[in-house]
Structure 1
Amino acid sequence: MQKKGFVVASIDSLMNWARTGSMWPMTFGLACCAVEMMHAGASRYDLDRFGIIFRPSPRQSDVMIVAGTLVNKMAPALRKVYDQMPEPRWVVSMGSCANGGGYYHYSYSVVRGCDRIIPVDVYVPGCPPTAEALIYGLIQLQKKIRKTSTIAR
């Protein structure tokens, strides 16, 4: 008779392993940072090898990448799309404008950081940040997900 093998692991580590290997970001491109986000998804950088596949709908995604200048008129739409995403959900703020207003910080129409509207998990600095910086930010998000507990976030 052959000996049967058993895998012993906690449910937290198993769930987080599955979540980090299948992150599905929804793009929320608002300005020039969205072009760099498209570069990261193209064949040169190929986010698919990390298990990161862009989804067109918020109901099919668990990560939102906010890329670009968030203005006051767009803030309610950002919140609405965020609320449509299923739990657990994470947010990556990409670029100086999404992080804190950037060059347009003192403009009357600019929200000084998307973290005033939705909670942000990872900030990617730069104007615009390179595709490598976005990939690094997504890897940092994967590390953060690995450390979280499935019961309490």
Structure 2
Amino acid sequence: MIFHYAIKVLTYHTVDLTFKRGVAMNNIITNRLKQGYRTVEFPSSDIKLPATYRGRPVLNQEVSDEEVERVASVCPMGAVNPEDRTLDLGKCIFCGRCLKIEQDFIRFTTDYRMFALKREGLIIKDTLKEPDTKSKHLSTIKKLFGKSVNLREVCAGGCNACDLDINVLNTPVYDLSRFGIKFVASPRHADGLVVTGPVTKNMELALMKTYDAIPSPKFVIAVGTCAISGGIFKENEEVVGGVDKILPVDLYIPGCPPHPFTSLYAFVKFFK
């Protein structure tokens, strides 16, 4: 009798579980059909970001020295050099304080295409130039990893904003994997290292161990202002600074955080 009762209970729970799974699967299919195809064509001229988005800046060198000095005085990161009349995108956090005063020196566009292969490439006098992606060094990377590349991401400290926007690249909208680029859990399975946040002293050893565990040849990508220069944490005694203080960096992606389209564009140009 107990045996028959157990069979009935088991059968009931099995049927109930199967029914619930069927309902869940039906909801997934229904939602998918309602939402339709969500992956954005990329690259595409149809990508339009909101007018409030602060993208690639443009400098006006026709303004007076006094105006440049005034802009430099309100920049919390010291990204504006009044002597050279330049803007360092490796320090800029795109906070917009310079836009709150009357000035014509800096204007932010809605252009998300921003990256550099060298640190000095982020220091601009007019606007950020498109790097030469046909260089010998980059041609080797494209030849080795152009069809398939695995990345290991490490947050070396920071607020996690860059990590969240990198994670967004794996969603159906951006679909990073369609380009043969994906993130892996183990550095031993990776071809390169993606670093976010300032390198804190607590994370320095872990970062170095991760880098050493990646087989050669390999590369390093610094994502976000903190990873490039230390960002708002650069003066902290517990922060080493930008990634290039301890590791050779092959790709710099500015922003605080960089827009997912900015990172996607940089990855595609770098590898493809």
**1:45: which partner in 2?**
174
Query: Which residue of the partner structure matches residue 138 of structure 1?
Result: 267
Aligned residue in 2 for 1:57? 186
SS of 2:182 mapped into structure 1: coil
Runs of 4+ aligned structure 1 residues displaced above 3 Å come to 13-18
Q: Which deviates further from its counterpart, 26-35 or 45-54?
A: 26-35
In structure 1, the residue matched to 2:57 is none
Instruction: Give the paired residue count.
Output: 131
2:149 matches 1:23: yes
Instruction: For 2:146, give the aligned amino acid.
Output: T
1:76-115 matches, within 5 Å, as 76-115=205-244
Structure 1 residues 107 and 20, CA gap change in structure 2 (3 angstroms): same
Residues 122 and 140 in structure 1, CA contact (< 8 A), matched pair in contact too:
no
1: CA distance, partners of 2:140 / 2:217: 15
Compute the RMSD of aligned alpha carbons.
1.9
Tell me what 1:151 maps to. none
Q: Give deviations 1:107-130, integer Å, cap 9, x for gaps.
A: 111122011111110000000111
Partner SS state of residue 92, structure 1: strand
- 2:256 is matched with which residue? 127
Paired residue secondary structure (1:28) = strand
Cα separation, 1, equivalents of 2:218 and 2:264? 18
How far does residue 77 in structure 1 lie from its aligned partner after superposition?
A: 0.8
SS in 2 for 1:107: coil
Percent identity reads 36
Give TM-score scaled by structure 1 length.
0.79
Q: For residues 40-97 of structure 1, what are the alpha-carbon distances to aligned partners after superposition, in whole Å with 9 as ceiling and x for unaligned?
A: 1222101111100111100001021101232111011101100000011111100000
* Greater RCO, 1 or 2 (C-alpha within 8 Å, sep 6+): 1
Structure 1 residues 14 and 104: CA distance shift in structure 2, 3 A: closer
How far 1:142 moved relative to its partner? 1.4
2:142/2:270 contact within 8 Å kept: no
Cα separation, 1, equivalents of 2:240 and 2:227: 8
Aligned residues of 1:71 and 1:111 also touching (Cα < 8 A):
yes
Give the AA of the match of 2:152.
Answer: M
Q: Which has the larger radius of gyration?
A: 2
Shift of 1:139: 2.3
Unaligned 5+ residue runs, structure 2?
1-138
Matched with 1:7 is none
> How big is the shift at 1:133?
1.2
**Amino acid aligned to 1:82:** Y
